[in-house]
Structure 1
Amino acid sequence: VLYFLVNYQLFELTFAPSGFVTHRVEYSYFYDRELSFVGSVLKTLEIFFISHFHAGTVLSLPILLAALLARLNIGRHTQAERVIWTIVAICVFYGFYTWIVYLFGEHFPMLVEYKFERVRIMLPFLWMLAFALALGQLRVKSPRVVGFFLAVQFIVTVASHDEFQHNLRQLAGVPKKPNFKEFVAEDLYHQIDAYIGRPKDSYRVIHLGMKPAASQYNGFYTLDALMAIYGLDYKHQFRKIMKQEIEKDEDIMVYYDEWGNWCYLLSSELGKESSAFLIGKDQDRVVEELNIDTRALLDMDGEYLFSAVRILNAEQIGLQFEKTFEHPDSYWKVHLYHVVGPPAMAPGDPTDKF
């Protein structure tokens, strides 16, 4: 029910079509998946015992042991067992969903567009429900055992929590990623806003090596974004900006063309992993040759590029370097480029790519 509520817009587009064509029609479910029976079995076992990064970390073995002890304790099937069998069914469904799409996806496109495999988000709740039911059946005869299981699960849950690990790294002085204050970097963006000196709604910005969410938080209007639903026409128009760049690397091209939820400016030199959009001020990275169409960028009212990396061929592609911005409380170092458009080229010049 929650999945339907959160994704109501997607279901509305399906069951009450308005003529709006989303980028999801170009989804290719198999762009990053292999059809393998052994792989599906391993995927099932992995999510059962290790969980999934979108579903939270749960230590399943102590819960299974608690459920087994509860079964032996009362000598009959327990409610915890029934919940665990539900978990098994979800894990098998998730592990073999690729085969379901392969066999039925052509006739039922919703299997691809909605990715019902994401029922996995229910797993942490179901594991905790099974755990609570098992402990409830153990508490009368074995209160110390219950205390032991609670202590183990608490320690593991806290120790594996992403924010806990991040705080430990912060205390040790070796942060792996920014905290909220460093990420949104309000003081840094105030500096950029003051430098540009124009109403934010009068221009659009795009990013390289950094996520647009921070700019959006600070009130900037961005051409790039992480979007679950947006227009197919917009996806194609945005692609024109980086057509030459993504065609250098087939993996990156497929990543955008056959998925595209991350409507980001992609670079063949930076790659497509999450770290390629979290380049901090201490990394001091550069892009030697960025091939983007700045005329297409201007056509979308894109006037500024916020870049976490220095672009060595900026002038050749129509980017004018303005200034580098830093702040002690910011994770980012932003190199600000003004989009002036491709330089004029002589007719017939073979270097004219525009």
Structure 2
Amino acid sequence: MKNILLISIGLLLFSFFPFFLLKQDSHILIHDNLDSEFIYLHILKISGNLFSYNNSDLLLNIFNGLNTFYIHSEFSLIRILFYLFPSFWAYILNSLLIRTIGIVGICLLVRDFGKSIEIPNYLLIVVAVSYALLPVYSLYGISIMGQPILLWSFLNLKNRKRHFISYFVIFLFPFYSHFAMTAPFILITLLVYGVYVIIKKRTNSSSFIIGVGALFISYIIANFITIENFLQNNAQTHRDLWKNNYPDIESTIRLIAETILNGQYHAASIFGLPILIIALYSIFKKTSKWKTIFHFIISIVLIAFYYSTYRYITVFFEDSLHLLTTFNFNRFTFFVPFIFYLLLLTFYSDKKINRVLLYSLTWVFCLGNIYFNTELKYSTAKLILPNQSTQLLPSYNSFFSPALFNEITAFIALPQEDYRVVSLGIHPSIAQYNGFYTLDSYQNIYPLEYKFKFRKIIQAELNKNNVLKEYFDNWGSRVYLFSSELQESCYVDCPKYFSETIQELNVDVISLKQMSCKYIFSSVKIINAEQIGLELENMFEDDQSFYQIFLYKI
């Protein structure tokens, strides 16, 4: 097993060569990543607040001052990486680290609890590496990559062995995972299983129960400030106005099927069809492990059904149990990728499953999952075919455009803290990354008062487009300077090769000015700029940037 582990980690390192060679020219996921989770850590870093745990501390870079407790995971180990390394390299090293933990977990599970698993060594390497290369959101830490080693730890406790290392892993898990994505769901699952073991198996489960308690306490410690503020802070947040539209049956059925076949994209997109084919084969043929396989399949189906119908629950209980709307209690989908891999390993302990079919579909499943990893796929393609890389996919560097925004900073020639900006047609995270103080941002949670204040600025644009209006009013985490004209085209991400213009922008410029906003960074030209009180100062463009920026002064 040691050689399998070393070879797997070696292959993982090899797969990261494109990132180490391309550096900031690598492709890095933007959606819910560079536009939010990444920039939170970067802002904490550049503002000197990575390890600030004072509830009164403000991030002046956002919204004229956003309390640091609105940024989750205050004791996350990821913050240490952002402290020690430049933000890009902190991101890459974190991704490499969590994926290494994923490989270690798979290998430990097979070594210690997979005695009946008969899988060729080369295929076990393929399985371990493909699990490690799942397209997870790496800034969620080991929320998914750590599940194998967490299961290994609890199985150790269930079997009353390896207590010290198991408790150590359990205690550290919350410090390197996302509380909202994992805590309630892992704890509920473990408690249900613990009760089942006690009642049905009638075995001594004291070590297991202590492990669950240790995990719970560790979650409290790791997220103490967030939990404390949630319990003590009576201030309303924008989540208090979250509202789900009543879903239709057709979209619900489609979502159930998509979740069963491909998982949920925040958890990790997977290519589940090959596994489902083998599972159905096993169940139909009544092979030796068909009951275990059936239970795994039922688990996936139930998770998919609950996830897809959760909106009905929130609509029904919207007034009486509003917490169901403000917190997503349907994230059991974060178990689905690992369940698929547990299914795959179970197949190899079933001697009655046709090996030609199993080996073939293992390759299809594993390579399909790696293919879903867009960061790896497009960065590798760019390295191999540098002249063929598509302009539709910006690199880390072309997205944040540091050289371009250095020009803008020099042109404005004022200390960045002395004025505020908003962005139009680009994500506010770009301006934030480059040190500007923004009135707009993508925030998971923020004061409701600020939502009302910013809504006044974009009210006229929202009234032009019901889709935008519902998007902001019923959700509102993207506090953006929306344009109804861009909504049907490039929306909030308009690259320079788009020949878009805004004919008539209707925003409350007076309110912007009252909030100390001095400039608008727009990736498209605003035709009626003068009529609404904007003056085009300059247009900035360079070969390295994904955007051209029209600098408007208020």
Do the two structures share a fold, i.e. TM-score over 0.5? yes
TM-score range, shorter chain: 0.7 to 0.9
Q: Which position in structure 2 is the counterpart of 1:206? A: 422
- SS in structure 1 at match of 2:464: coil
Which amino acid in structure 1 is aligned with residue 359 of structure 2?
G
Whether the 8 Å contact between 1:314 and 1:321 is mirrored in structure 2 is yes
Say which is worse superposed, 86-95 or 120-129, in terms of deviation: 120-129
Separation in structure 2 between the aligned mates of residue 114 and residue 10 of structure 1, nearest angstrom? 14
Tell me the TM-score normalised to structure 1 length: 0.85
Q: Which position in structure 1 is the counterpart of 2:345? A: 132
Q: Which position in structure 1 is the counterpart of 2:265? A: 53
Alpha carbons of structure 1 residues 83 and 256: separation in structure 2 relative to 1, 3 Å: same
Separation in structure 1 between the aligned mates of residue 495 and residue 482 of structure 2, nearest angstrom? 17
Say which is worse superposed, 36-45 or 286-295, in terms of deviation: 36-45
1:40 to partner: Cα distance: 2.6
Q: Which position in structure 2 is the counterpart of 1:258? A: 474
Q: Which position in structure 1 is the counterpart of 2:288? A: 75
Separation in structure 1 between the aligned mates of residue 430 and residue 407 of structure 2, nearest angstrom? 14
2:464 aligned with 1:289: no
2:530 aligned with 1:315: yes
Say which is worse superposed, 20-29 or 40-49, in terms of deviation: 40-49
Runs of 4+ in 1 over 4 A off after TM superposition: 5-14, 68-74, 140-146, 167-170
Separation in structure 1 between the aligned mates of residue 180 and residue 312 of structure 2, nearest angstrom? 27
1:103 to partner: Cα distance: 2.7
1:182-331 matched pairs, under 5 angstroms: 182-271=398-487, 275-331=490-546
Q: Which position in structure 1 is the counterpart of 2:254? A: 42
Structure 1: where are the runs of 5+ without partners? 340-354
Question: What percentage of residue pairs aligned between the two structures are identical?
Answer: 30
1:97-116 matched pairs, under 5 angstroms: 97-116=310-329
1:208 to partner: Cα distance: 0.4
Alpha carbons of structure 1 residues 251 and 76: separation in structure 2 relative to 1, 3 Å: closer
Separation in structure 2 between the aligned mates of residue 272 and residue 237 of structure 1, nearest angstrom? 25
Say which is worse superposed, 150-159 or 225-234, in terms of deviation: 150-159
1:141 to partner: Cα distance: 7.9
Structure 2: where are the runs of 5+ without partners? 1-173, 184-222
Say which is worse superposed, 169-178 or 277-286, in terms of deviation: 169-178
Q: Which position in structure 2 is the counterpart of 1:148? A: 360
Alpha carbons of structure 1 residues 191 and 154: separation in structure 2 relative to 1, 3 Å: same
Whether the 8 Å contact between 1:70 and 1:135 is mirrored in structure 2 is no
Q: Which position in structure 2 is the counterpart of 1:122? A: 335
Separation in structure 1 between the aligned mates of residue 473 and residue 251 of structure 2, nearest angstrom? 25
Separation in structure 2 between the aligned mates of residue 286 and residue 102 of structure 1, nearest angstrom? 38
1:134 to partner: Cα distance: 2.1
The one of 302, 306, 312 equivalent to 1:89 is 302
- SS in structure 2 at match of 1:284: coil
The one of 215, 234, 243 equivalent to 1:19 is 234
Q: CA RMSD in A?
A: 2.6
Paired residues, number: 333
Question: What do residues 157-190 of structure 1 show as CA deviations (whole Å, max 9, x unaligned)?
Answer: 2333323553477543433221111101111111
Which amino acid in structure 2 is aligned with residue 328 of structure 1?
D
Whether the 8 Å contact between 2:419 and 2:516 is mirrored in structure 1 is yes
Question: What do residues 78-119 of structure 1 show as CA deviations (whole Å, max 9, x unaligned)?
Answer: 544322221111011012112222333322111111122233
The structure with the greater share of residues assigned to helix is 2
1:52 to partner: Cα distance: 3.2
Question: What do residues 260-285 of structure 1 show as CA deviations (whole Å, max 9, x unaligned)?
Answer: 01100011111177x31111111131
Alpha carbons of structure 1 residues 176 and 320: separation in structure 2 relative to 1, 3 Å: same
Say which is worse superposed, 316-325 or 145-154, in terms of deviation: 145-154
Say which is worse superposed, 119-128 or 326-335, in terms of deviation: 119-128
Which amino acid in structure 2 is aligned with residue 103 of structure 1?
F
Separation in structure 2 between the aligned mates of residue 125 and residue 228 of structure 1, nearest angstrom? 26
Q: Which position in structure 1 is the counterpart of 2:396? A: 180
Q: Which position in structure 2 is the counterpart of 1:351? A: none
- SS in structure 1 at match of 2:335: helix
